[in-house]
Amino acid sequence: MKRHTLYLLPLLLFFASCKTDYAGLPTYSANKQLQAVVETPAGNTRRLVYDKEKKEFVPDLNAGHEREVNFLPYPGNLGFIPSTEIDKNGRGLEVLVLAERREPGTEMEVIPVGLIQLENYGELRHVVVAVPSRPSERRIDATNYKSFSQNYPGAKAILQIWFSNYNKASNTKFVGWRDEKFAEKEIQRWMKL
C-alpha cells in the first residue's frame, strides 16, 4: 500500500502544479460561441487581472498599490476575450459580462450586445458588452444592440456613467456606443493568429 502512495505522490504534485493558461484559450468555443474569462467579479471594488506568467489572478496595481474603485462596485463581470491581444503587454480585449457574479477564472460563452468606446489618457479603449449565451443565465434578455438599446436604455446609461466615474485618476471619457457587428470586428481585429 505504501508503495502505491509513493508513486501517486509525484503524480498528484504534477497535477496540482498545472495551471490553466486562460490567455491561450480559444476565442471561440467548440460551439462557435465567443468566450470570455472573468477577472473581476460583478460587485467587486478591487480590480483583479490575469498574470500570464504566473497563470493566476492578481490585484491590479497602480503605483504599487492595489487599484480600488472609489465609486460604485463593478456593474458586471469584467474580464477579457482569450487569444486576443491589444497591446505589447499582451492584454486581451476587455469584456463586461452582464450576469450574476462569477468568480475569477470563470470561462463563459457569451453573446456581444454592443461595445463601449472610452478614452483614457488620450487613447481609445474598447470594452465589449456581452450577455451569457445560455438563456437561463441571462438577467438581460437581449442578444443584439438593437434589443439591448430598446429594452434596457437604463442599463446603457448606468454603464456610461459608471465607466466615466469609476477611475477619476485615469480621466476616462465616454466616447460612444457601437453595435454587436462593430464588436465582432474588434474581436477579429485583435485575435492572435
Average pLDDT, integer, range 130-156: 97
- Residue 10 maps to a domain: no
- Residue 44 maps to a domain: yes
C-alpha distances (whole Å) from 141 to each of 1, 21, 30, 37, 138 are 56, 31, 24, 21, 6
- Residue 75 maps to a domain: yes
| pLDDT band of 16, cuts 50, 70, 90 | very low
Work out the percent of the chain whose per-residue pLDDT is above 70.
Answer: 90
**Whole-prediction pTM:** 0.89
Report the pLDDT value the prediction gives residue 13, as an integer from 0 to 100: 46
Burial of 98 (0-12, 13-18, 19+ CB in 10 A): buried
Domain of residue 160, CATH code: 3.90.80.10
Q: Write b or e for each residue in 10-20: b if 16 or more Cβ atoms lie within 10 A of its Cβ, otherwise e.
A: eeeeeeeeeee
8-state DSSP, 6:
H
- Residue 125 maps to a domain: yes
Average pLDDT, integer, range 117-139: 94
- Residue 3 maps to a domain: no
Residue 22 has pLDDT above 70, yes or no: yes
148: containing domain: 19-190
Domain count, the chain: 1
- Residue 172 maps to a domain: yes
